[in-house]
Structure 1
């Protein structure tokens, strides 16, 4: 098998091509990984903690989130698709999803664009904070498509670390124009296009590989080739990747008339000011010296509790239904939720990672 031909994970082949190399990688326990990261002995991208199946309680809370958010998500996917058609008229649209959080959004978008008669292609490409995008995978895309037809997707923006990394990685490609970065929810205002600036309970933000084609987080390679990942065959019976897509697409028929996204410069500037101020408040109040220990936003805060060693979780309100899963997972880990009110607005939750040193 040619390891540079890509694969589709548990998605249909026409929905995505992951430009990653499959490997069997060693399992690094969470506590050991945290120690190695924070002492500088290993970079987070060099290790993988193998995923286990979500608990029945976790899946029930996911189903509740999906039920509550499916109509909004369907509407916003259609709005993003319409906006992309207006911004990139009469040309192919090449979606490059950042693995993994951009992938479910990318699958929904490529299908929506094709249903509108647009020629659209979708690739999953690795990007790693502090190290950059997978340059070899990007060259593979560039050999087949014009760069001006490409847009880069992420599911949401937390504090903007991946956006900054993407901007740095692609500076030579976009020296005098804004990077075409698209997200579903961006409380920081950094995206070129976003459906909203709200921090909301995005259903695909509360699961890992089982809603992302059974693909692991990407891993930095030992050579100059494509980045690595694992395909989690042991989680096949728990996979909801295609069920999730079908559930959202079933909502399209019930949608009212759809208009493009209202993503204005004024809104973006306001969000940038608010999010910067919120993070400054948290940094000051909790003596945070390493911003990598801050995971703002419901999706980032939830995934941090799932994958890292959390110190505390800050929330605006315990009555917020959007934090039920976060509350459940934090309780399992013995981590208290601290109510801080609007200090963290526009974020509804922020996880602070425990210092290992």
Structure 2
């Protein structure tokens, strides 16, 4: 009997994970490598805002980070590695306490990928738990990559009860809501029933299910793109992706000499201590959520913003705007704080207006510029 007939139902022949620059035991990406057509950031923004293309259909070329910026990343990693290691262990212990092994970590490409890899090390090396880590695509308004879910559940035969969804941070909750809808849609049509619980390091908007902290601080992996994520791009979903394939990505091989993916994992893991694991924070998610909504509505009114997706609260989201979108302005709670030094560098490079707002509940907020499309 042929292999095609033997394959689990719904799995296309030829699908296989990739690892980027990671080792396989740290991360397996369920993505389809593509030869990308690069769009300038300005053209991409115009096409998104005009409705001509969805953001997931396009990607921009990632330029190498400057030596000053890489130095800043390394310094921030050194400063926060003890804290991040403790928070990863906190999440890992929570997973062990609530899920049966074998555990399957499913991180959301791309911000969630380094955190998933750290959790994999925490579970497998420090807590001696049978676990595996996959990183898969979820896209706003397009849902999760169901082909990837089918692959890990049916091809790699990972038990549904052990699937745990992981991201680095949450802010407004857009991806959290997308995950909830996507898993409800999956569960309504498939035998394997998945829990939609989302585990994150930082939940500044009060929207995640399980969070290690609710503080807005610099998760170092959040200030770099591909060089701390296995040299993999964010995910793509365009006409290049054929039915039955995983969502797509591009491997940024030109950034190899700047790759700090392994260095980052090693630095954080070196600080992990299984004997010192604090409980999860007990503050009210509801209060944090309500406070976030108050400020979002205030900014919409005071700045005349027509699309809430153009407001990106938190250091990590603000950084992504400065690196990948066309920013209009940057709000900082304390412009002199070391936590936002990299944002000031990026703002100066791009000529972005910086405003001081000392009373807001976030360290940073960025606004995406509205582009005239007619």
TM-score by structure 2 length? Answer: 0.90
Q: Which residue of 2 aligns with 1:340?
A: 357
Root mean square deviation, CA, Å: 1.7
For residue 62 of structure 2, give the secondary structure of its aligned residue in structure 1.
Answer: coil
Q: Which residue of 1 aligns with 2:322?
A: 305
1:81 aligns with 2:92: yes
For residue 168 of structure 2, give the secondary structure of its aligned residue in structure 1.
Answer: strand
* Runs of 4+ with deviation above 6 angstroms: 175-178
Query: Cα offset for 1:178?
Result: 6.6
* Gap regions ≥5 residues in structure 1: none
Query: Cα offset for 1:92?
Result: 1.5
Q: Which residue of 1 aligns with 2:108?
A: 98
Distance change in 2, residues 1:24/1:173 (3 Å) = closer
Q: Which residue of 1 aligns with 2:276?
A: 257
Q: Greater CA deviation, 175-184 or 155-164?
A: 175-184
1:219 aligns with 2:236: yes
Q: Which residue of 2 aligns with 1:135?
A: 146
Query: Do 2:160 and 2:194's aligned partners in 1 also have CA atoms closer than 8 Å?
Result: no
Q: Deviations over 1:267-313 (max 9, x none)?
A: 21121111111211111111111111111110110111011110001
Query: Do 1:178 and 1:192's aligned partners in 2 also have CA atoms closer than 8 Å?
Result: no
2:364 maps to which of 317, 337, 349: 349
Query: Do 2:332 and 2:365's aligned partners in 1 also have CA atoms closer than 8 Å?
Result: yes
Q: 1:191-270, aligned counterparts within 5 Å?
A: 191-222=208-239, 223-224=242-243, 225-252=245-272, 257-262=276-281, 264=282, 267-270=284-287
1:327 maps to which of 321, 344, 347: 344
Looking at structure 1, the residues matched to 28 and 41 of structure 2 have their Cα atoms a distance apart, in angstroms, of 29
Query: Do 1:3 and 1:21's aligned partners in 2 also have CA atoms closer than 8 Å?
Result: no
Looking at structure 1, the residues matched to 275 and 350 of structure 2 have their Cα atoms a distance apart, in angstroms, of 42
Looking at structure 2, the residues matched to 282 and 181 of structure 1 have their Cα atoms a distance apart, in angstroms, of 27
Looking at structure 2, the residues matched to 180 and 252 of structure 1 have their Cα atoms a distance apart, in angstroms, of 24
1:286 aligns with 2:306: no
Q: Greater CA deviation, 231-240 or 272-281?
A: 272-281
1:110 aligns with 2:120: yes
For residue 41 of structure 1, give the secondary structure of its aligned residue in structure 2.
Answer: coil
Query: Do 1:153 and 1:183's aligned partners in 2 also have CA atoms closer than 8 Å?
Result: yes
1:52 maps to which of 47, 59, 63: 63
1:9 aligns with 2:17: no
Tell me the number of residue pairs that the alignment of Structure 1 and Structure 2 aligns: 350
Q: Deviations over 1:177-230 (max 9, x none)?
A: 972101100012221211011110110000000000000011004222211101
Looking at structure 1, the residues matched to 278 and 330 of structure 2 have their Cα atoms a distance apart, in angstroms, of 36
Query: Cα offset for 1:117?
Result: 1.5
Query: Cα offset for 1:146?
Result: 2.4
For residue 104 of structure 2, give the secondary structure of its aligned residue in structure 1.
Answer: strand
For residue 338 of structure 1, give the secondary structure of its aligned residue in structure 2.
Answer: strand
